[in-house]
């Protein structure tokens, strides 16, 4: 079955540590996204990538980094510079291109990061 796989589902980290969240998709989608979700705040865009080896900052990119070396993979690193990293992180993908582009997103199951 095609879909998006995020790992780990739960992650604990000590302050000052970097952590990397994995996101893999086998939908052959061009674009991939990372969102952060906090209670009552909806989804906020961290980074997105429309093509391999290229990515753009979203609304809250500070303290995060990404890479897009392969079409299928878009890992997110939460660095020690992120002041309040405890949150639920969602990876998503979408078809990109001039034809049939609707913006519809397909989501993974999420990763919950807790900083101790």
Partner 1 sequence: AQSVTQLDSQVPVFEEAPVELRCNYSSSVSVYLFWYVQYPNQGLQLLLKYLSGSTLVKGINGFEAEFNKSQTSFHLRKPSVHISDTAEYFCAVSFPYGGSQGNLIFGKGTKLSVKP
Task: Measure the N-to-C terminal CA separation of the chain; round to a whole number of Å.
Answer: 36
Radius of gyration of the chain (CA): 14
- The interface with partner 1 within residues 46-85 (CB under 8 A) comprises 48, 56
Residue closer to partner 1 by CB (options 17, 57) is 57
**Interface with partner 1, residue 30, by CB under 8 A:** no
Q: What angle do CA 33, 115, 65 make, to 5 degrees?
A: 35
Find the shortest distance in angstroms from Cβ 92 to partner 1: 8
Q: Regarding beta strands 10-13 and 19-25, do their DSSP bridges make them parallel or antiparallel, or are they unpaired?
A: unpaired
- Cα 7 to Cα 34, 36, 95, 99: the distances in Å are 13, 15, 22, 32
Find the shortest distance in angstroms from Cβ 16 to partner 1: 27
Find the shortest distance in angstroms from Cβ 98 to partner 1: 10
Query: Considering only residues 14, 15, 16, 42, which one is a binding residue for partner 1 as defined by CB under 8 A?
Result: 42
The Cα–Cα gap between 88 and 110 comes to 7
Site string for partner 1, 96-115 (x = CB under 8 A): x----xxxxxxxxxx-x---
Interacting residue ranges for partner 1, rule: CB under 8 A: 4, 6, 33, 40-43, 45, 48, 56, 88, 90, 92, 96, 101-110, 112
């Amino acid at each position: 079955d095609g879909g998006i796989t995020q790992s780990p589902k739960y992650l604990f980290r000590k302050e000052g540590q970097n952590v990397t969240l994995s996101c893999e998709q086998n939908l052959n989608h061009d674009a991939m996204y990372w969102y952060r979700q906090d209670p009552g705040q909806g989804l906020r865009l961290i980074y997105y990538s429309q093509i391999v080896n290229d990515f753009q900052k979203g609304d809250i990119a500070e303290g995060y980094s990404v890479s897009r070396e392969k079409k299928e993979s878009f890992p997110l690193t939460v660095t020690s510079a992120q002041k309040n990293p405890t949150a639920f992180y969602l990876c998503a993908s979408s078809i990109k291109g001039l034809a049939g582009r609707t913006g519809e997103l397909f989501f993974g199951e999420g990763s919950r990061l807790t900083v101790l």
